[in-house]
Amino acid sequence: MKISLIIFICCFWLLAGQVRSAEDWYWQGSAQLLLKNYSGSAQSDNLSGFGVFLSGDYLEQAGFKIGYNDNHTNYKSALDNGLQGNDEKVLFLSGRSNYYPDKLPGTLMLRLDGYVGKDETSFQTATSGPPMGNGFPQQIVTETVKDKFFVVYPTVSFLNYAKTVYADLGYAFSSYHSNDNGTDDIEIVQWTPTLGFGFNRGYDWLQLRAYLVSLSASNRVEGKDGTTALEAKWTHWFTANAPLNLHSVRLSLLTGERIYAVDSDACSLCNVADIQTGLVAIGAEWKLSEKTSLLLQSGNEAYESLLLNDDYSSTYIYVYLSQKW
């Protein structure tokens, strides 16, 4: 924890030194919508979420991004444990700084992400009320279990000037604290080495990223101390007059296992104590105008629940609209 705090302070001190003027800033705002439906789950039914982001870039020297996500999960009706739903709220803040060392044939970037938020799980219990007539009617009481969390995620990356080779190394420290039971608290360390390659005259990009996750002892993940997964992302850009006026298409695949993952590309967290065992996703992006873009993505995810000994999947639709100025 102390090491993560030192990294956080040092990185922001370096980033702040790069921003010297309010001029020459380039801005982008975006909104996103996520709809997810679960299949085969003994507990979860569906999820809906939205988010907004604002980013600013100062020439080619530095930049920042701030965002907010709000997700709601509905649980299946008539569950024995009385679960009703889960509300998750996440605030995201990121800063980066670019460097151009003479001895390196490309750009060195230092990036620092931070997440802070909470999720609230509500459930109903039945209690006996005061005597009325000949019986003791039940009263339905709704209770809430709150989970507070924060994540610190510094990354150092390199991109050559030809934009054909990319590499980074990220370190994420996550801490979750529940008000229900101290044994449910958990800390997670995630390492994400990444390699990226451009080919086909810059029209194609392949990115490979490993997720190496270590878990502290907790009732949430009893008997599990870590996971390993490999993610592959391929993106293809089109020339003008492409079919359906497409700007790009993308394909994502995940194999292995990952839990409590932090995704620096999507600026998102996976906060459920279930193991993701697979992912297949496809997406398409359109340039609606010179400065407006629309991304549609759909995918299928496979999960394993440690607590319920339950294998299930989810199908999602993701919509992302961005505007530059």
Alpha carbon 160 to its chain's center: 27
pLDDT along the chain (325 residues), means of 10: 49 48 82 96 92 94 96 81 84 96 95 95 67 58 82 98 97 91 86 97 97 93 92 95 90 97 94 93 95 97 89 97 94
Query: In angstroms, what is the C-alpha Rg of the chain?
Result: 22
Q: What is the pLDDT of residue 136?
A: 55
Cite the beta strand spans of 183-261 per DSSP E: 186-199, 204-215, 226-237, 246-258
Angle at Cα 82 formed by Cα 136 and Cα 178, nearest 5°?
Answer: 120
The closest of 14, 17, 54 to 32, measured between CA atoms, is 54
Q: What is the pLDDT of residue 1?
A: 47
3-class secondary structure, 309: coil
Q: What is the pLDDT of residue 18?
A: 46
Q: What is the pLDDT of residue 132?
A: 55
Q: What is the pLDDT of residues 166-196, one digit of tens each?
A: 999 999 999 999 887 667 899 999 999 999 9
Residue 204, C-beta contacts closer than 8 angstroms, at least 6 positions apart: 198, 234, 235, 236, 237
Euclidean distance between the first and the last CA atom of the chain, given in angstroms as a whole number = 39
Residue 243, C-beta contacts closer than 8 angstroms, at least 6 positions apart: none
DSSP assignment of 4-25:
HHHHHHHHHHHHHTT---SSSE
Domain boundaries, the chain: 2-15+26-324
- Judge contact between 105 and 124, C-beta under 8 A: no
Residue 71 to residues 36, 59, 259: CA-CA distances in angstroms? 10, 34, 18
Which CATH code for domain 2-15+26-324? 2.40.160.40
DSSP state at residue 2: H
Helices (H) and strands (E) in the chain, counts: 1, 16
**What CA–CA distance (Å, rounded) separates 240 from 248?**
11
Q: What is the pLDDT of residues 193-203, one digit of tens each?
A: 999 999 999 99
DSSP assignment of 51-103:
EEEEEEEETTTEEEEEEEEEEEEEEPTT-TT-EEEEEEEEEEEEEEEEE--TT
Q: What is the pLDDT of residue 131?
A: 56
Q: What is the pLDDT of residue 121?
A: 83
